[in-house]
Structure 1
Amino acid sequence: MNHDTDAMFRTLKPAGLDTTVAEAHARRREQDLAAAWDATGSGRGVSAPAARRRMPRVLVAGLAAGAVAASAAFVIAATDGSGNSPGARPTASGTVRALDARAILLASADSAAKAPLTTGAYWYTRERETHFVAPMKLTEAQQKEVDRKLGTRLKGKTKADKSSPVTAWVSHTQESWSGRDRHARTIVGIDPKIKFASPADEAKWRTLSESQRARLQLDVPAEPHVNNYDFSHAKLLKTDEEKQVSALAKLPSDPAGLEKTLRKWYQDERALEMSLDGRTSENSFAAYVFGEAQDLLAGPLTPGAKAALYRVLAEQPGIRYLGTATDSMGRKGAVLALGTNGDDTGPIGKNFEIRLIVDPRSGRLLAQESGDRKAPSLTMTYEAMGWVNSLGARP
């Protein structure tokens, strides 16, 4: 009987009703976003980018970050700018409707899908990175987890050998060109800066040798350095082969197809972890996708694939909308956050999370942070990205 009733209603319903309802939801999202962005939001910005597949470095720095949480710089300060709690936004009619992570992600998907399709020989990015270094204060269990993640054993070394003896924030800009032909170029060390937590930290830094500063990621190069790479004959792991520029540019543009690809990546990487380490991480698929989004949204995805990624993210549990913030370039965006395994617990600490700043009006990733909630260990601002046709060219 229920099936017959459903069929009757499907027959009677106007053909365009589903589309009309979807369009109405999209319009409401646009109205809510417009109201949110009209409010005078404020927030201290983030900073910038890093090399791909950077999780081990983030892991170590994230564990260290808690030691001086109160003094960290560049923290995203999420605010709605109206006195309302984050997520509550005044609409054009003056009523308040909640904007949640799903609404932000779907709005970003709609915007991303409208971007023009471009192409080229090389994918260009300009990123500014700030990473936080500090003496590590780890429990024995945490140290074992760091050793396991990095695939190293630090027995016989002093604590000073394992972590930075000073507390500081080190910033620099990097330009990169990644080619379909597997040739690449980076220019690193652009506009380097270092900020110390105290004069004593700076004094201690001056006693370190150049090699010590480099090993501890405390070096400030005198001038930018150009690196050219040729990976055309390199034999890559399957998990890396599928993430080359030419492969990323062909990712599915439908959410179901893209999710299938992402789940395959997730299983392949877990299998690799098991073969190398005898165990897998505790991260959920939701946490894996959110982590991958840091690179994918700044990579050579087509507008359709980027929109599909936002829609896949919109269906994942645990992603939180923290309000709006302004990045280091003064661009305003929505802050989305997720702990590394989806429920904010796990071997690297319950306060570890990844935060993305996205602009739902353009579908663009503006910046990201990783690490302790109060003292992120890595912050990035994506200053420019796009296709170019030759090494050294800029969009």
Structure 2
Amino acid sequence: MKQDLMRRLTAARPEHLDPVGAVDPAVRESELGTAMRRDEEAGRATEAPRRRRLPGTRPAWATALVAGATAAATVVALAIGTEPGDGTRPAGPGGQGGPGGESGILLAAASTVEKTPITSGAYWYVAKRTTQLHKVPGKDYTLRRSHVHRVWVAAGTTKRWSELVDTGARPATPADREAWRADGAPRSWRLTGPMTPRTETLLYKGGGVIQRDVPDGKGNIVPLVEISPAEVSTLPVKPSALRTRLLELIDEDYNAPRHELERMVMSAAVDLATELPASPELRAAAYRLMASEPGVRDIGRVTDHEGRAVDAVAIRDRRGGPGERRLFFDPDTGMPIGSESRTGGRPTGFMTYTAMRWTDEPPPFDEDMSRPPPGQGREGGATAPPKGAR
């Protein structure tokens, strides 16, 4: 029951509010009420009872991290979407739509990525840097607060290691840097607001490693859509068959109305396309599935926050909210390389993949570790990363 409530909460959260940092308990409690009301209103008497998978019958391992002392404490999620001019700018011709209104960018990326050489290793390794934008209260500048999230999954198993590192806060742009210097170049900031319901301290140098989880550890890992490594290797590579199978897997795990299950198909497809150890052919099938989903449109060629020319695709919030997700793809390889988020016409954060590959190098730690992020539950400066961090 506890996992079912958490999953309802996760599924009910508006996509434009997907965080890249800590989720405050007050926010989680409010969203839980919304989730339960929506289930009563949208699912009452119109849906047949859904099967409920018993807790523990499918190990959680996917790259979204939900960890904490109870059901959840930290969420590291895909956050995407800004317009050119708000952190991105046009860098070439816009994308052209495919047949039947499908995303031409995704179809082209699928044709490219399926030619990627097949590789192997002892671990599937993904590393990404997520960045939130914070306006400093009473000041005329904005900060970029970043975390690094690393995940290792042992080949052919459900064994998963993850690490979350607070890498600190910096002025977001050159203009923000000048305003920061005029403010005396502070090395810490106390923030509060809609995304930080309680006062939180951001540190210039960050707090180092704040979360680690190992197989069979104490961390409670609950990804939005669970797809085990064994299931990834058996998924069909025809887009229509892949969609049907993903819907079946989601239906096995969730006691949710049909419209919520349909929405989560896109979440599962995005995971396959961007982070899971899919074969080149399966990754291409996920792209083609996404290309025909409602709310997907081509943005075209833009320059991302790393200064790279990327092909961008937008995914609209299917609940009609103000948020939009945008995925960035390497025009030469077709591989996913980052994303952005925007809400109400303003950028709120972005993410960059720094590694996505098979490797024989094992995780550099073998014990769980969790401690409060800087400014939550303790005061003081940054703490050096534990031994073995990299």
One-letter code of the match for 1:327? D
- 1:252-286 superposed Cα distances (whole Å, 9 cap, x missing partner): 32323311122224445652xx4xxxxx596683x
CA apart distance, 1:327: 2.7
Contact 2:20–2:75 under 8 Å retained in 1: no
- Kindly indicate which of the two structures has a greater share of residues assigned to helix: 1
Q: How do 1:99-118 and structure 2 match up within 5 A?
A: 102-118=103-119
Q: How do 1:241-256 and structure 2 match up within 5 A?
A: 242-256=226-240
User: 2:375 aligned with 1:391, yes or no?
Assistant: no
Q: Distance in 2 between matches of 1:243 and 1:231?
A: 16
Q: 1:204 to 1:391 in 2, by over 3 A?
A: closer
CA apart distance, 1:171: 1.8
One-letter code of the match for 1:263? L
Q: Distance in 2 between matches of 1:105 and 1:218?
A: 37
User: 2:149 aligned with 1:178, yes or no?
Assistant: no
Residue in 2 that maps onto 1:262: 246
Q: How do 1:3-22 and structure 2 match up within 5 A?
A: none
Residue in 1 that maps onto 2:293: 316
Q: Distance in 1 between matches of 2:316 and 2:126?
A: 26
Q: Distance in 2 between matches of 1:328 and 1:261?
A: 36
Residue in 1 that maps onto 2:303: 326
Contact 1:167–1:201 under 8 Å retained in 2: no
Q: 1:75 to 1:123 in 2, by over 3 A?
A: farther
Q: Distance in 1 between matches of 2:269 and 2:308?
A: 20
Q: Which entry has the higher C-alpha Rg, 1 or 2?
A: 1
Contact 2:65–2:222 under 8 Å retained in 1: no
DSSP 3-state at the match of 1:263: helix
Gaps of 5+ in 1: 1-47, 90-96, 137-165, 275-279
Q: 1:295 to 1:260 in 2, by over 3 A?
A: same
CA apart distance, 1:108: 1.3
CA apart distance, 1:309: 0.5
Percent identity between matched residues is 24
Q: Distance in 1 between matches of 2:100 and 2:308?
A: 20
Q: Distance in 1 between matches of 2:246 and 2:131?
A: 29
Q: 1:214 to 1:121 in 2, by over 3 A?
A: farther
Contact 1:353–1:371 under 8 Å retained in 2: yes
Which of 47, 58, 64 aligns to 1:52? It is: 64
One-letter code of the match for 1:352? G
Contact 2:190–2:202 under 8 Å retained in 1: no
User: 2:136 aligned with 1:125, yes or no?
Assistant: no
One-letter code of the match for 2:125? Y
Residue in 2 that maps onto 1:160: none
DSSP 3-state at the match of 1:262: helix
Q: Indicate the larger mover: 125-134 or 213-222.
A: 213-222
Gaps of 5+ in 2: 1-18, 22-62, 67-71, 365-390
Q: 1:229 to 1:282 in 2, by over 3 A?
A: same
Q: Distance in 2 between matches of 1:329 and 1:204?
A: 24
Q: 1:122 to 1:207 in 2, by over 3 A?
A: same
Contact 1:173–1:189 under 8 Å retained in 2: yes
- 1:48-87 superposed Cα distances (whole Å, 9 cap, x missing partner): 988616799699x99xx9xxx9xx99945352636xxx34
Q: How do 1:1-395 and structure 2 match up within 5 A?
A: 52=64, 75-79=86-90, 81=92, 86-87=94-95, 102-133=103-134, 168-179=143-154, 180-186=157-163, 188-190=165-167, 192-195=168-171, 206=189, 216=200, 218-219=202-203, 222=206, 224-225=208-209, 228-232=212-216, 242-268=226-252, 271=255, 274=256, 285=262, 287-296=263-272, 297-341=274-318, 346=320, 349=321, 351-372=322-343, 374-392=345-363
* TM-score, L = length of structure 1: 0.56
- 1:294-351 superposed Cα distances (whole Å, 9 cap, x missing partner): 432222111111011111112223211111112344432211102110xxx53xx3x2
- 1:85-116 superposed Cα distances (whole Å, 9 cap, x missing partner): x3469xxxxxxx99975222121111121112
Q: CA RMSD in A?
A: 4.8
CA apart distance, 1:247: 3.5
Q: Distance in 1 between matches of 2:214 and 2:76?
A: 27
Q: Distance in 1 between matches of 2:184 and 2:238?
A: 51
Contact 1:87–1:98 under 8 Å retained in 2: no
Q: Distance in 2 between matches of 1:292 and 1:340?
A: 15
Contact 1:126–1:174 under 8 Å retained in 2: yes
- Kindly indicate which of the two structures has a greater share of residues assigned to strand: 2
Contact 1:125–1:385 under 8 Å retained in 2: yes
DSSP 3-state at the match of 2:103: helix
CA apart distance, 1:392: 3.9
* TM-score, L = length of structure 2: 0.56
Contact 2:134–2:143 under 8 Å retained in 1: yes
